[in-house]
Copies of this chain bind each other. A is one copy, B any other.
Amino acid sequence: MAAATPLLKDELDIVIPTIRNLDFLEMWRPFFQPYHLIIVQDGDPSKIIKVPEGFDYELYNRNDINRILGPKASCISFKDSACRCFGYMVSKKKYIYTIDDDCFVAKDPSGKDINALEQHIKNLLCPSTPHFFNTLYDPYRDGADFVRGYPFSMREGAPTAVSHGLWLNIPDYDAPTQLVKPHERNTRYVDAVMTIPKGTLFPMCGMNLAFDRDLIGPAMYFGLMGDGQPIGRYDDMWAGWCTKVICDHLGLGIKTGLPYIWHSKASNPFVNLKKEYNGIFWQEEIIPFFQAATLSKECTTVQQCYLELSKQVKEKLSKIDPYFTKLGDAMVTWIEAWDELNPTGDNLAKLSIADGPAKTKK
């Protein structure tokens, strides 16, 4: 069983996008059961998703999303795990952990089950070091510290906004690499957590990811993917590029490394190739765009940053494909929907939030 008092029990939601029964939760029971789950059902809304007994959850299918967001539901992808970001939006908690339903509990080298969620919480609750590299990895970890030559003025670090966990067994490869190396498995347990330095982009995977909603939530939009869109499997990448640029601008940190989960099954590389091929091509221009992107000093909230970025996306990426005009508009819709569901003191009065989830079980 989990520790007597699970960390952040009432401050964290676990968001799971799915199209099937959630049997995978059985293995996670000792670690997840104390927490509230937000299940985002993708695909056919008439299908019944079974959730193992004893879990506290709310579930949203496409009908719920349409009902709650109205016309703004257009910004939430359908038939793609990008739909998970709806769960980030309806959460009322400070922290989110999101995990795919083909991810299981991994073991550390001593054979012990890894409580991935606990490690993510540790990562989020201690600072990051984006402004200078520490060669002994996370300096805040037990048995480690800042090495000689690390400026003392930088040792307070920056607030950690994102914790990016990794995967044993099936690595997160693109379709071409899957095709070339169908049998490659990740067996290397690297016992490290590190901060991704300021100014450096990284490929953020949504399979095993935690973040601080208050610090960075509105940047965690997973884009327009799947049904009716010319691209898939770039949802988390898109969120990662935007998030990194905004974290750098706002002085927030992103950690990667521990914890590992056990990724059980490679998705079909032929299907993936079809989803990815535009992205593989487009990312050659998208990444230089994000590498060069700067935000004006006036942008002091995540929302302001995100709206400024949406303008730049439309201006600079629409020449690649008209898709980016649509995506830029969807980014604006996402922020409008976010603010509607997450009213602050300012806009609380104006709002009437739509109905709650279809199915809640406590």
Contact = CB atoms under 8 A, between A and B. Distances in A.
Contacts of A234: 149
Contacts of A188: 143-144, 191-192
A200 B203 contact: no
A187 to B, nearest CB: 6
A199 B202 contact: no
Contacts of A132: 200-203, 287
Q: Name, among A135, A164, A189, the residue most crowded by chain B CB atoms within 10 Å (CB to CB).
A: A135
21 contacts: A132-B201, A133-B196, A133-B201, A133-B202, A134-B203, A135-B203, A135-B205, A143-B185, A145-B177, A146-B173, A147-B172, A147-B203, A148-B173, A148-B174, A148-B203, A150-B174, A153-B284, A188-B192, A196-B197, A197-B200, A198-B199
A140 interface: no
How many of these chains are in the complex?
A: 2
A190 interface: yes
Interface string A164-185: 1010000111101100010011
Interface of A: 109, 132-137, 143-153, 164, 166, 171-174, 176-177, 181, 184-192, 196-205, 233-234, 236-237, 240, 256, 280, 283-284, 287
Contacts of A136: 166, 171, 186
